[in-house]
Amino acid sequence: MSSRNVDKGREAENAVASFLQGAGFPHCERRAKRGGYVAIPCMEGCEPGADCWRCDGAGALVPADAGDLTGIPGVVIQVKWSGYKPLAEDMRRTDEQRRAGRADIGLLVRKRKGVGLARAGEWGAYLPEWAVAWLLSGASYTEYVTTDAFACNATATWHTDLATAAALIRRAGYGVNTLEQTA
């Protein structure tokens, strides 16, 4: 039997997936959970085993979780029923999931107190500042992360609602037809 917290998490994930399906991401759905660990590049972008001043070549070993939702190639989505943990901790975990899933964008969605499942588009959505700057720039991911533009504050967080974040991500070319384009 599931605990109430597990049920709430599942309900929140389904609500966000349902909203995103109607917002131009028709293939969005809950991701089957998987166990294990995966080695990811360190924050400097080096691969494990590389000569890196920050991680001494160790990279990072993180859970193989690539987010709560799938169906939007290049985007990892982490959904939280509420913000019990500090935002910085949830953002760090979302970025680990983004890197584990080898995605361009890691989006954190938190249910707002008093805002029900049917209004998931009004829930809080959080993206790193660099991701917002890149999405608005129109540059390719590779062009952007290899320029000085990427040097904006890597820890700053942009907060909006899910509807606005979805529109921004959709405007950047993610969503409808992305599965067909990557196949």
Could you report the per-residue pLDDT of 93-134, keeping only the tens digit for each? 898 888 888 888 999 999 999 999 999 999 999 999 888 888
Q: In 3D, which of 34, 6, 29 has the Cα closest to residue 16?
A: 29
Total domains in the chain come to 2
pTM for the model: 0.77
* Whether residue 97 sits in one domain with residue 117: yes
* Whether residue 126 sits in one domain with residue 41: no
Asked which of 65, 84, 117 is the last residue of a domain, the reply is 65
Domain residues for the domain of 178 are: 4-30+66-182
* Whether residue 51 sits in one domain with residue 71: no
Please report the pLDDT score of residue 135 as a whole number.
87
Please report the pLDDT score of residue 82 as a whole number.
75
Mean pLDDT of 145-168: 76
Could you report the per-residue pLDDT of 144-155, keeping only the tens digit for each? 555 555 555 556
* Whether residue 127 sits in one domain with residue 71: yes
Reply yes or no on whether the pLDDT at 139 is more than 90.
no
CA angle at 168 for the pair 164 and 173, rounded to the nearest 5°: 145
* Whether residue 43 sits in one domain with residue 77: no
Please report the pLDDT score of residue 182 as a whole number.
45
Q: Mean pLDDT across the chain, nearest whole number?
A: 80
Could you report the per-residue pLDDT of 57-99, keeping only the tens digit for each? 555 665 667 789 999 999 999 999 876 789 999 998 898 888 8
Q: In 3D, which of 153, 20, 4 has the Cα closest to residue 77?
A: 20
Determine the Cα–Cα distance for residues 145 and 148; give it in Å rounded to an integer.
8
Cα 127 to Cα 35, 97, 134, 158, 180: the distances in Å are 25, 13, 11, 5, 26
* Whether residue 92 sits in one domain with residue 139: yes
